[in-house]
Structure 1
């Protein structure tokens, strides 16, 4: 089981301590039950001896239970921390296009699935203690009443089979419920970030609430109820089998005189002691299935929590200048995209393109022509399906792609605005930042304080201006701006094309701008046009 592997990987020492202390807690519990039952039936009861023995096991039970809870708490919190870090690391190291395709599923995984795993692990002490109690008391029952034990073991086997039979159906409903969680998170994202649009359209607001939120929530709720009903039926069926079996055994004993009623009374007392822990153990199996579903959701995004064998050691690129001053060279690069759900196929390339150091290039093309896809290949976000990307004559592959990407700063239409600039290794970042804030007329809105922008609660146009500042402050060799000026007013378009870009060019930066503002194309060195995935001029 994957969850056991993850627990052991988290901390072998804590895992052994948790299991061992939980098992000993169950054994102590079994001995306490045994002592109580034997003391009732003994003719020569020794109170002093009973108090000493009972006290020792009672203290042992309490101490071991605390140790077990502490170990599991440390283990569960540790594994949740490691899962968060491991998932975040693997997301950052994973193939960009794979993560991009599964973007809507990432947030539910980092919240809902990790919570599910945590709750499953958190129940481990009671499950282990319950299992040890059941096994300990069962062992004592078999020793004291071997014949009667066969009947009870048969009943327990029937309960186990009932639980086992219910698990596939439980898992089915868990899977359907979990898939709908992805939709619910996306819906709530729309509710949060689209509140302006919803508030301005009464009809759509009503539709979104009734037809989108309510219907999806009801459907997800339906599967959760079905899962709960199946678990309850399996659990109560087990209880009913046990009760019916005990009743049948009582009838049989009084009809045949198979054993003395007093002996059966002692036996029944022991059996009743283990019903509760047995229920805890059997209930955990449905929880285990939920954990498996959560781990599968993680795996389906292309992230393997156990895979460490294919990590490529990153190497840095050679920074020596090349003779012909070509900084980026795309040689026969090609990218394909296919969406089977919509039967959509797009092919970019093959493309040959050389970009020289210090060039300002405008990239032009209609919607769907492949401009952003080409930009992402240029940045190293999409490895080409065919051909090769070169940086100063060096071919880019898995070993140097991370260093290659760091040569760029970029803004996209859907870029996320981070407020932190402390990662930028530049002593003059505050001075340069203030100059850019002044140039883009943001000084009344934003300041740089303690390595952060004072706020990102801005209009969309202001956010894009702040995102531009953030990109420029990184002071990289190459800049790529994807439709940055598309939603800016003429005043800030002019500042962008005539001031910002020209200042970057004077500083020796290489710049690629995706744009339709043809009136400014004469400020650049070249205009490249894409049409249906091909360079046409």
Structure 2
């Protein structure tokens, strides 16, 4: 990708209103100039004594103060609007690109980093933007003050430039490792939260085996926590070192004005004016220095956003159809010598599936059986066109499934995966009859625990078996021609399991549905039209049952 653009490039390239961003920069500069000019007016009034305290000077000071307050308020309010609109656009772009990429590409990505970009990095940019605008305004004011000093004394201006350059060099050196420390602290915090997740989601196992909890707490949670603490302290120390350098510069400059300038026969009144300027800029200088760490954080967050978008742009994706079919036709599906390999495909070190030859017809029940690691779930992902095969063809109604028609092809299926995700509402089914949902909740024994209100389920806080039943309800309501169930009955009680095999599947078949179900329940194999046995990534045999 080359050098990653910074925060300013993100604003320039991702903002919906580049012209407004330009006006924002001008207003920020104008606020700094107005602040500096008001300081010049104050200096003139103080230096002129009673002769300077005139009505025109008062009006000029009031005008400059008004300009400063209005432009500062405008810059801050417009920054909030521009940045929030930009972040909304960035999130939308990332989510749209994410939705379109291949499952294999997503599996290869660090999902926590993706979520962190959408949440933490966007939050950092949002929070830092106000500090950056105020810091930029202060920087303009400092620049204006420097030129004002030049009009009073060129020698004082040269001293000012020398000390400022020295302060900048020292600050850059003191802050050189800040980005590295911040990245290391973020990584330690990520590991800390990962360890805490193990504690929360593995709580039962830890209660049974306390030594796991002791090891997790003592050597990982506490260790990563201490590491993150030390790194954050180091980061703060680096910032304080930079702040101390700016304060040191301020006192050196003040001392030079008071003790050195008189040695060069500079007028006393000029020295007083320059002293007032130095005292006046103390606050803006500290504001500017405090804004620099926020700018560093914003730059880091912007780089993360750029890198995530670049990765999404490079990921494999299906071509998006101009329109999706409301009711795609299904006459036949064929897997023709399909092959796939998990990891190490080029070196031949991964787990290989295939070649697979399999046909599906409307209105049949097909069971897929086999031991753990035999390739059953991979076969389903190939059937669903979620994995791209290394070789062979997936054929739908006599035509090969390619990136241009894969999205339409997948419309044929309703799926409940073994590691399914349970949605809180019926997304994509806005016109679903609530009475139909209530009837299914009763049939699956969930009506006392779950209510269907305003298109959403009242709770997802259910047992694994109950959650699977709720996922099944969602799949049934989709009413697709092919239904795929991966070990659905594994977590069900005896009654629910028997209902699934002896009532639900035959009922779906009678409706003309095709069922593809992974199962180990051999006592129910008689329900199927065919049972396919998988072994070491290949179909060992196919057995017709009826």
Q: TM-score, normalised by structure 2?
A: 0.88
Deviation of 1:34 (Å): 0.6
Tell me by how many angstroms 1:307 deviates.
8.6
Residues 457 and 76 (structure 1), Cα distance of their counterparts in 2 relative to 1, 3 Å cut? same
1:68 aligns with 2:84: no
2:227 pairs with 219, 225, 236, which one? 219
CA contact (8 A) 1:108 1:185 kept: no
1:518 corresponds, among 511, 518, 522, to: 522
Moved more, 128-137 or 298-307: 298-307
Distance 1:263 1:212, change over 3 A: same
Q: Partners of 1:344 and 1:301 in 2: how far apart?
A: 29
Give the counterpart of 1:356 among 351, 361, 366.
361
Q: Give the one of 115, 134, 139 matched to 1:131.
A: 139
Q: Considering only aligned residues, what root-mean-square deviation do their CA atoms show, in Å?
A: 3.0
Distance 2:212 2:280 in 1: 58
Aligned partners of 1:339 and 1:114: how far apart in 2? 35
> Is the 8 Å Cα contact of residues 198 and 204 (structure 1) preserved in structure 2?
yes
* C-alpha distance in structure 2 between counterparts of 1:347 and 1:258, whole Å: 88
The residue number in structure 1 matching 2:474 is: 470
| 1:252-293 CA-partner distances (Å, limit 9, x unpaired) | 445x43524542332232233334333433443332332233
Work out whether residues 336 and 345 of structure 1, in 8 Å CA contact, stay in contact via their aligned partners in 2. Answer: yes
* SS of match in other structure, 1:458: coil
Instruction: Give the direction of change, closer, same or farther, for the CA distance of 1:386–1:438 in structure 2 (3 Å limit).
Output: same
Map of 1:34 onto structure 2? 40
Tell whether 2:124 aligns with 1:144. no
Per-residue displacement from partner, 1:338-369 (whole Å, max 9, x unpaired)? 289xx983332333322222222111222222
| Kept after mapping to 2: 8 A contact 1:17/1:71 | no
Could you tell me whether the CA contact under 8 Å between 1:25 and 1:65 is conserved in 2? Answer: yes
* SS of equivalent to 1:536: strand
- Counterpart-to-counterpart distance in 2, 1:97 and 1:212: 31
Aligned-residue offset at 1:117: 1.5
Offset of residue 422 of structure 1: 5.5
Match of 2:544 in 1: none
Tell me the residue number matched to 2:266. Answer: 259
What corresponds to 2:52 in structure 1? 45
Q: Quick check: 1:94–1:303 contact (8 Å CA) kept in 2?
A: no
Match of 1:453 in 2: 457
Q: Residue 92 of structure 1 corresponds to which residue in structure 2?
A: 99
Structure 1 residues 302-381: aligned runs within 5 Å: 312-316=319-323, 325-326=331-332, 328-338=333-343, 345-381=350-386
Moved more, 476-485 or 72-81: 72-81
Deviating more after overlay: 461-470 vs 187-196: 187-196
**Is this contact kept in 2: 1:413–1:484, CA < 8 A?**
yes
Greater shift after overlay, 45-54 or 156-165? 156-165
Equivalent positions of 1:113-512 (< 5 A) are 113-198=121-206, 202-244=210-252, 246-247=254-255, 250-254=258-262, 256-298=263-305, 312-316=319-323, 325-326=331-332, 328-338=333-343, 345-421=350-426, 423-424=428-429, 427=432, 429-512=433-516
Partners of 1:253 and 1:447 lie apart in 2 by 82
1:100 CA drift (Å): 3.1
Matched, 1:14 2:9: no
Matched-pair contact (CA < 8 Å) for 1:28–1:61: yes
- Unaligned stretches of 5+ residues in structure 2: 542-546
- Larger mean CA deviation between 484-493 and 438-447 belongs to 438-447
Answer yes or no: is the 8 Å Cα contact 2:101–2:312 preserved in 1. no
The two structures have a TM-score, normalised by structure 1, of 0.89
Q: Which residue of 2 aligns with 1:107?
A: 115
Shift of 1:512: 1.2
